[in-house]
Structure 1
C-alpha cells in the first residue's frame, strides 16, 4: 500500500557544532603530543563485518595497537614504494609514476572489544546493530584534462568535502558508507588557474591525501567505514591506492593494479556481506569496471559481472532484509546535455543491467530491498510499483555537481531498467551534502538529505522495497 510522509512546517533545528573546530580536532595528519611522524588512522569493515584498523604513517615501522589495554604490533600491509608509470585513463604525458611514501599498517579488531587505540588516538569500534548511518560518495576534487574539467580545489565553497565530512561527523553516526569515487585529482592543474593551483595530481599518496584523508579526517575518526569501489578506483585510475589503503581484504600480489598485465585480477573482486543486526545486512559489490554503454561480445566484464551476480544470490539469503551497496546505480536516472545542448536522460547502467539481467530479469536477489549508489553527482531517490528495490544515489559530497535538471514529472514510460515502473522520484541537483539513515524497524528507515552544513533538506520513509519522500525536488 502507498504511504505518505507528513509535510513539515519548518526544517528541524540543527545542532550548532562549529565545523571548523571539528576539522581541527579530528585532523588525521596532526599527531598526538610526542609522536614525531604524522599518521592517519581509520577502521574499515569487510567480509562478515570483520573490522580492520588501518594506519598510514611516515614512520620507519608500524606502530603498536592497544586493544582492551593490551599492546601488540600492527602488521605491514604495504611498504612505501614508487610504482613505475603504467597506462592510465590519461595520455602518457599527463600520467606519472605513483609515489606512495607512507607505510600502510593494519590489525584486526575482534568482535566484543571495549576499546582500541593507536599512538594514543582512539579508534571507532563497530556496533552489532548500527542505527545511525551516514551515506556519501563522489568526494574527490575533479581535475580531468580529457573533460577539460578543473574544479577549484582551493575554494572550500566549490570543493566543500571537508565541510561535508565535518558536518556528517557532527551527526554522530554509528557507521559510514562511502559509495565510491574517492579520487579525482588525475591531471595537473592548468597554468594560471588559481582555483586548483598547487594541487597534487596523479595516483600517489599526495593526491589521495588531498582528496580523502585530509578533508575526510573528521568523518574517518567518527565511525567505522564500509567502502564501495567506484570507476575512479579502477586499475587505469586510482586502483593502486584503492588496494593499498581502502579495500578491507588482504593485499595480494597481482591484485594491486601495479602491472597492467594483472588488471583482470585487479579490476574485479568478490562481493561480501556486512551484518547490520535485526536480520538485516549490507551486500557490498565492486562495479568499478562496468560501462554505461553496455558490453560488446567477448568483453571480459560481462562474464565477470555475471559471476558477481551468482555470488550475490547466496549472500543475499543470509538475512531477510538486505541493502545493496555499490557505485553504479542500476535503477537511477541522470541527465546531461548531448549534441547541440539538448538534454538527455541517462538510464540505469547498461553493463550491469546486461550482466545481471541475463541471470535475473529483476536484476537483484529477492531479499534486496534497498540499493545505495553514487556515480551520478546528485542526490536521488526512486521507488517502484513493480517490486524492484528502492534506489538511493548519494553522489553529491564534494565532486563538481551535475546541473542538468531531471524532468518533474518524468515523461511517461521512462524507466531506468526493463520492467521497472517508477512510482516516485525525488532529487536534489546542484547542491552538496550527505545522506543519513536512521533505523525505525527491521525493514524500515528514515532517510534524510542534509546540505553541506548539516541542515535537513528532505525526509524520506523506507519500508521494505518502497520509499516516499516529502519533496519530489529540493530547490
Structure 2
C-alpha cells in the first residue's frame, strides 16, 4: 500500500506499508530508498511503515509500478470523509461489516475516487472495531478488533484501497486515535511528524498553505472533553487556542475532528446545539475572527451550522457520516430560536451515509453533502472570507 499525504507547512510525503524492507521511491527518475518510519512490533504489527519526503518541483513520483498522487498547481476540489469504520463494540449497536447497506464505506470510497478530488481530508476516527465480536453474532464473526495491523487493514486500508492512491490526503486525529485507544496505529501510519518514541496525548496545531485554498489550520482535538473537562485539559487546549490565533490568517479554515463551533444532536428527546466542553471553557465560545470555515466529524451525521456574524464562530461543516453507525438525528432545517441557541442563524442536518465535497472558486465556497450513489443531501454557498 502506498499513498501521499500533506505534512507540516504543506509539504508532501510518501508513505508505504510493506511486509519486508522499505522499497525504492522514484522522484523525477531518480531512485532512493524510503526510510523506515516504524518497524514490526512483537505483538500487534507485523508490517513496516516507510516514508519519504517529496520536494517541491517534483513532477513524477512512483513506488514500484504505483504512480504517486501529487498536488496540482491549484487545489480547488476537496473531498471530506470522517468516522468511517465498522462499529463493533460492546457498549453500542453492532454493524454488519459484510453488508454494504449497513456499512457502505467501500462504495463511498469508490464514489470519492470517481470524483477525482485534488485533496482528500479525513477528519478522524478510523477504527470502530474496538471489542471482540460477541459469541453467536454472525454480523461480525471473525472480525479483528483493537489497535493492530489486522484491524487497521479491515477498517481502513481494505475499504479505502481504491481511493488511497487517487489524491494526496490530509489526515486528522480523532478521539479514537487517543493513546488509550488506537493511538499506536495513528502514529505509525498517518501522523505527519517524525515517529515519536511513545504515544503523545497532545500534538501542536499546524498550518498548511496550498495554492488555491485558504490557509488550513489543523488542530488535534483527540483529548478535548465533549461533556466534561479538567484543569489539565483546559491548560492544554488554552495553549492550542493561542497557537490557533497565531496561525490563522483572514479566511482560514479550521480542521478538527471534534466540532469546536458547535453541532446539532438529538438529545433528551429533542434536537439541540451542543458544544465541546473543553473548548467552551477555554474560548467562551468565541473563536478567532480570522476563521471563515470549520471542518469536522465526530457527530455521525452530515451538518452545516451558520452563525450570526457577531457570534465569533465560523460556519461549521460536519462530515461524520462516512460509514460508522449514524447518530440519532432528525433530518431537516433548523434555526436558533427552535434550538434555543441565539447565535445560530440556520442549521441543516441529514441522517444518511456519505461524504462531503468542498469546491473553491475565486468568489465563493460551495459545500455539497453527498449520500451513497451520489445523492445530493444539501448544498451551501459561502463567501470566501
Fold-level match, TM-score > 0.5? yes
Pair 1:305 & 2:237 matched? yes
User: Once the 2 structures are TM-superposed, how far is the Cα of residue 279 of structure 1 from its aligned partner?
Assistant: 7.1
1:278–1:208 CA distance, 2 compared to 1 (3 A): closer
CA distance in structure 2 between the partners assigned to 1:164 and 1:65 by the alignment: 30
Pair 1:349 & 2:271 matched? no
Q: 1:315 aligned to 238, 244, 247, which one?
A: 247
Q: Would you say the 8 A contact 1:57–1:104 is kept in 2? A: yes
CA distance in structure 1 between the partners assigned to 2:229 and 2:261 by the alignment: 18
Pair 1:125 & 2:59 matched? no
TM-score normalised by length of structure 2 = 0.95
User: Once the 2 structures are TM-superposed, how far is the Cα of residue 344 of structure 1 from its aligned partner?
Assistant: 5.6
User: Once the 2 structures are TM-superposed, how far is the Cα of residue 415 of structure 1 from its aligned partner?
Assistant: 5.8
CA distance in structure 2 between the partners assigned to 1:336 and 1:459 by the alignment: 22
Residue deviations 1:152-192 (CA, integer Å, cap 9, x gap): 11111101111101101100000001111111111011112
CA distance in structure 1 between the partners assigned to 2:13 and 2:162 by the alignment: 18
Q: 2:367 aligned to 447, 453, 457, which one?
A: 447
Q: Give the match's secondary structure for 1:311.
A: helix
Residue deviations 1:323-361 (CA, integer Å, cap 9, x gap): 1100111223332454xxx3463512111121233xxx5
Q: Would you say the 8 A contact 1:57–1:103 is kept in 2? A: yes
Match of 2:314? 389
Pair 1:75 & 2:5 matched? no
Q: Give the match's secondary structure for 1:436.
A: strand
User: Once the 2 structures are TM-superposed, how far is the Cα of residue 408 of structure 1 from its aligned partner?
Assistant: 4.6
Q: 1:325 aligned to 252, 255, 267, which one?
A: 255
CA distance in structure 2 between the partners assigned to 1:53 and 1:415 by the alignment: 47
1:78–1:126 CA distance, 2 compared to 1 (3 A): same
Residue deviations 1:18-52 (CA, integer Å, cap 9, x gap): xxxxxxxxxxxxxxxxxxxxxx1111111110111
Q: Give the match's secondary structure for 2:42.
A: strand
User: Once the 2 structures are TM-superposed, how far is the Cα of residue 276 of structure 1 from its aligned partner?
Assistant: 2.6
Match of 1:157? 101
User: Once the 2 structures are TM-superposed, how far is the Cα of residue 311 of structure 1 from its aligned partner?
Assistant: 1.1
Match of 1:45? 6
Q: Would you say the 8 A contact 2:264–2:349 is kept in 1? A: no
Q: Would you say the 8 A contact 2:332–2:348 is kept in 1? A: no
Matched length? 383
CA distance in structure 2 between the partners assigned to 1:278 and 1:134 by the alignment: 15
User: Once the 2 structures are TM-superposed, how far is the Cα of residue 104 of structure 1 from its aligned partner?
Assistant: 0.3
CA distance in structure 2 between the partners assigned to 1:439 and 1:345 by the alignment: 30
Q: Would you say the 8 A contact 2:332–2:349 is kept in 1? A: no
User: Once the 2 structures are TM-superposed, how far is the Cα of residue 150 of structure 1 from its aligned partner?
Assistant: 1.3
Match of 1:37? none
Q: Would you say the 8 A contact 1:154–1:197 is kept in 2? A: no
Which protein shows a greater Rg?
A: 1
Q: Would you say the 8 A contact 1:334–1:406 is kept in 2? A: no
Unaligned runs of 5+ in 2: none
